[in-house]
Amino acid sequence: MTSLRSRALDLWRGLSGLLRTRRDTAPIDTVAALQDFVATRSAYVAQKSLYGYVKARMGSLYPRMFEEERLMTSLDIAKLHVYAACLSDLTVYAVAAALHDQPVGNDARRTVAQRCYQAAIDANAADPPPQFAVEDCIDEFGRRLAAIDWQLAARQSDSFTRSPPALVRWAPIADTLKRHDTEIIENSIRFAWRDIREQFRRRIDGAAVGADWSRQAESRSDC
């Protein structure tokens, strides 16, 4: 029971931290700031959407979830899978939009996206359960980047294709119920992305991010 309570406390601390981070309004003007944005906002959308759906379906039974090992384990697994999908979507969109019309090539865009994704996965999946394979997520993201149209990816909704089905698939809710919920669930996460994109548009300084990347590339070439 102690471990379950500890995990519940960690969950709420994490959510509180994400809510505080979400209020950040500083410009996104470096690759590091871009990386932080995609990592924290992906976590926010993943947890808000997943826990919101589970709470809505469980109703008054929701508090009991934190007393049952099986449900907590299922939620831990779902959280990582939904996060990885959210991170994939937001990273593609944010890198494409930030570097749109900037004097960098597609190889640079792929490299920036890979670094953002890898850093966030490493930080948030340091000790994953057996049902979550970090290598599989990284490989899938690499395949996605290899086939990407960066001009298309900069558009508002074209990049957000992985997170809606991931939420449906991994939420620890019976499949018989999910069949009736699919459209509502997928629309809920699509709606959550609207606010994140608006935050991004207000804060992004694409020219500064591109210049920061160019400086880093020049520094590496001088070594």
Domain boundaries, the chain: 29-218
C-beta pairs of 148-155 under 8 Å, 24+ apart in sequence: 148/92, 148/96, 148/110, 150/96, 150/99, 150/100, 150/106, 150/109, 151/96, 151/100, 153/92, 153/93, 153/96, 154/93, 154/96, 154/97, 154/100
Q: In whole angstroms, what is the distance from residue 130 CA to residue 107 CA?
A: 33
Strand partners of residue 204: 28
- Name the band, by pLDDT with cuts 50, 70 and 90, for residue 21: low
Which structure tokens are listed for 36?
A: 């932080």
208 pLDDT higher than 90: yes
Q: Would you place residue 5 in the very low, low, confident or very high pLDDT band (cuts 50, 70, 90)? A: very low
Do 160 and 38 meet the contact criterion of CB atoms below 8 Å apart? no
For residue 168, give both structure tokens: 């449906």
> pLDDT: is 152 or 46 the higher one?
46
Distances (CA, A) of 86 to 47, 65, 81, 147: 10, 24, 9, 18
Give CA–CA dist 133/1, Å, rounded: 27
Q: What predicted TM-score, i.e. pTM, was given to this entire model? A: 0.87
**Range with the lowest mean pLDDT among 64-78, 131-145, 167-181, 186-200?**
64-78
How crowded is the C-beta side of 213, counted as CA atoms within 13 Å?
29
Number of C-beta neighbours around residue 110 at 10 A: 16
Q: Which has the higher per-residue pLDDT, 87 or 218? A: 87
Question: Over 90: is that where the pLDDT of 144 sits?
Answer: yes
pLDDT of 7 above 70: no
Lowest-pLDDT range of 41-45, 63-67, 119-123, 207-211: 63-67
Instruction: Output the pLDDT for position 68.
Output: 67
> What is the predicted pLDDT for the residue at 11?
46
pLDDT (tens digit per residue) in 25-39: 899 999 999 999 999
User: What's the mean pLDDT when you consider all of the chain?
Assistant: 85
What's the rounded mean pLDDT across residues 176-193?
91
Mean pLDDT of 117-142: 89
CA dist., res. 145 & res. 89, Å (int): 11
Four-residue CA torsion sign, 205, 121, 131, 14: negative
Q: How far is CA 16 from each of CA 40, 101, 135, 160, rounded to the nearest angstrom?
A: 12, 36, 29, 25
C-alpha–C-alpha distance, residues 161 and 128, integer Å: 24
Structure tokens at 223: 């070594």
